[in-house]
């Protein structure tokens, strides 16, 4: 069958649904002015984090009890930022909220749509990322999400998995969503070292995050004793307690290891879980599929490896049924991971 395409008023683009035309000026504006000419930098990382902190404000248990558990991916984190940015788990999110707000004011789009659109566009700038879906049509948020919907890095695995289950996510989907920490850094876990990444390649959407979180922790990159932080294997790299525990818990360890050097598998699992997360609280039948507006993606750069100076003996095997995959080690002495600029 031939799909009829509609020409957009810009004279440049065609789409299957005319409603999607409105997204092209926003796409051009954010690529240039929010993401510094389509980089996979700090603003992309923060925008991806924001998709999660907005969407996870949702609760099936609250819905069943006929109470309000949050509107999901509704933009409430921006619309009601006076309330939500003060939640402990949202520490630092105010920065990207205030960077995104002028784009929402300038363009005719709801905060809920903008947050998920910016996240999907931003991720497309990271080599190795999948092309995420984008569904258009979230109404304006009606109320702030309640506190305690966003997991904390010091939460145990039970509490993390039950919080995600309350929004409809399985342990496998939780692990898939955490692929996001491959393009990520922490500014506030150890405030003395802002911009400290979770893996050695924070500008590449690769599987290094799943490899490096399985290495034995040996040092704190800055100061010790921060809540939610455990020892990492490399200078300049930070490890969240939650990531460390998910990598080692019997419910999630084999899922975690299962993404090591499995780029295509990680991409498709992340894409599927993100598609579900991005529409939490909404019915996709009421939305328009504008996925074709999301830019095509770039192939991953580099190959899965153990960081220089480390060997297979430094892996803390946690999956009981399958050995950790054999990987080449980078040559040379142990190196230090550089911080993400602009954090």
| Residues engaged in binding ligand HEM (CB under 6 A) | 42, 45-46, 48-49, 52, 92, 151-153, 160, 177-178, 180-181, 183-189, 228, 240, 242
Residue 240 DSSP symbol: E
Which phi and psi (to 5°) does residue 206 adopt? -115, -175
Least separation in angstroms between residue 151's CB and Mn ion is 18
Number of residues in contact with Mn ion, rule: CB under 5 A?
A: 2
Query: Known binder of ligand: residue 182?
Result: yes
DSSP string, 196-233: EESSS-TTS-SSHHHHHTTBPP-B-SS-S--TTEE-BS
Q: Among 201, 226, 257, 297, which residue sits at the site for Ca ion (rule: CB under 5 A)? A: 201
Q: Is 340 helix (H, G, I), strand (E, B) or coil?
A: coil
Q: Which C-beta is closer to ligand HEM: that of 108 or that of 192?
A: 192
Least separation in angstroms between residue 295's CB and ligand HEM is 18
Least separation in angstroms between residue 241's CB and ligand HEM is 8
Q: Which C-beta is closer to ligand HEM: that of 278 or that of 310?
A: 278
Q: Which C-beta is closer to ligand HEM: that of 78 or that of 160?
A: 160
Report the catalytic residues.
53
Q: Among 43, 74, 173, 187, which residue sits at the site for Mn ion (rule: CB under 5 A)? A: 187
Least separation in angstroms between residue 22's CB and ligand HEM is 25
In 3D space, the residue among 86, 77, 83 whose CA is nearest the CA of residue 52 turns out to be 77
Q: Among 199, 212, 237, 245, which residue sits at the site for Ca ion (rule: CB under 5 A)? A: 199
Task: Give the Cα separation of 215 and 241 in Å (integer).
Answer: 13
Helix axes 42-55, 93-106, angle to 10 degrees: 90
Q: What angle is formed at CA 123 by the lines to CA 246 and CA 121, rounded to 5 degrees?
A: 140
Question: Which residues pair with residue 229 across a beta bridge?
Answer: 240
Task: Give the Cα separation of 233 and 267 in Å (integer).
Answer: 25
Q: Between residue 135 and residue 194, which ones bind Ca ion under the rule CB under 5 A? A: 182
Beta-strand runs (E) in the chain: 6-7, 14-15, 135-136, 185-186, 196-197, 229-230, 239-240, 288-289
Task: Give the Cα separation of 296 and 25 in Å (integer).
Answer: 17
* Residues of the shown chain interacting with Ca ion in the complex, contacts defined by CB under 5 A: 182, 199, 201, 204, 206, 208
* Residues of the shown chain interacting with Mn ion in the complex, contacts defined by CB under 5 A: 187, 343
- Known binding-site residues equal 54, 72, 74, 76, 181-182, 199, 201, 206
- Known binding-site residues for heme b equal 181
- Known binding-site residues for Ca(2+) equal 54, 72, 74, 76, 182, 199, 201, 206
């Amino acid at each position: 069958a031939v799909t009829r395409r509609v020409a957009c008023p810009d004279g440049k683009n065609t789409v299957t649904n005319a409603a999607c035309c409105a997204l092209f000026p926003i796409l051009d504006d954010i690529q240039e002015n929010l993401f510094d000419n389509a980089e996979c930098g700090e603003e992309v990382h923060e925008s991806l984090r924001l998709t999660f902190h907005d969407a996870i404000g949702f609760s099936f248990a609250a819905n069943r009890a006929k109470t309000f558990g949050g509107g999901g991916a509704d933009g409430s984190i921006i619309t009601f930022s006076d309330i939500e940015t003060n939640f402990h788990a949202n520490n630092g999110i105010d920065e990207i909220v205030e960077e995104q707000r002028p784009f929402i004011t300038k363009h005719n789009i709801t905060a809920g749509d903008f947050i998920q659109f910016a996240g999907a566009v931003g991720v497309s700038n990271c080599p190795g990322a999948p092309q995420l879906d984008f569904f258009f049509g979230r109404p304006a948020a009606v109320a702030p999400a309640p506190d305690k919907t966003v997991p904390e890095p010091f939460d145990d695995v039970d509490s993390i998995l039950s919080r995600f289950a309350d929004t409809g996510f399985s342990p496998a989907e939780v692990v898939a969503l955490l692929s996001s920490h491959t393009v990520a850094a922490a500014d506030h876990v150890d405030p003395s070292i802002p911009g400290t990444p979770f893996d050695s390649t924070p500008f590449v959407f690769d599987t290094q995050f799943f490899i490096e979180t399985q290495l034995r922790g040996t040092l704190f990159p800055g100061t010790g004793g921060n809540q939610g932080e455990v020892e990492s294997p490399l200078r300049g790299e930070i490890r969240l307690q939650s990531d460390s525990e998910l990598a080692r818990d019997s419910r999630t360890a084999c899922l975690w290891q299962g993404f090591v050097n499995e780029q295509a598998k990680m991409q498709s699992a992340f894409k599927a879980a993100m598609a579900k997360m991005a529409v939490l609280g909404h019915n996709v039948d009421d939305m328009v599929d504008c996925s074709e507006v999301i830019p095509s993606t770039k192939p991953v750069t580099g190959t899965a490896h153990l960081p220089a100076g480390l060997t297979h003996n430094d892996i803390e095997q946690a999956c009981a049924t399958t050995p950790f995959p054999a990987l080449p080690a980078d040559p040379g002495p142990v190196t230090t991971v550089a911080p993400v600029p602009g954090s």
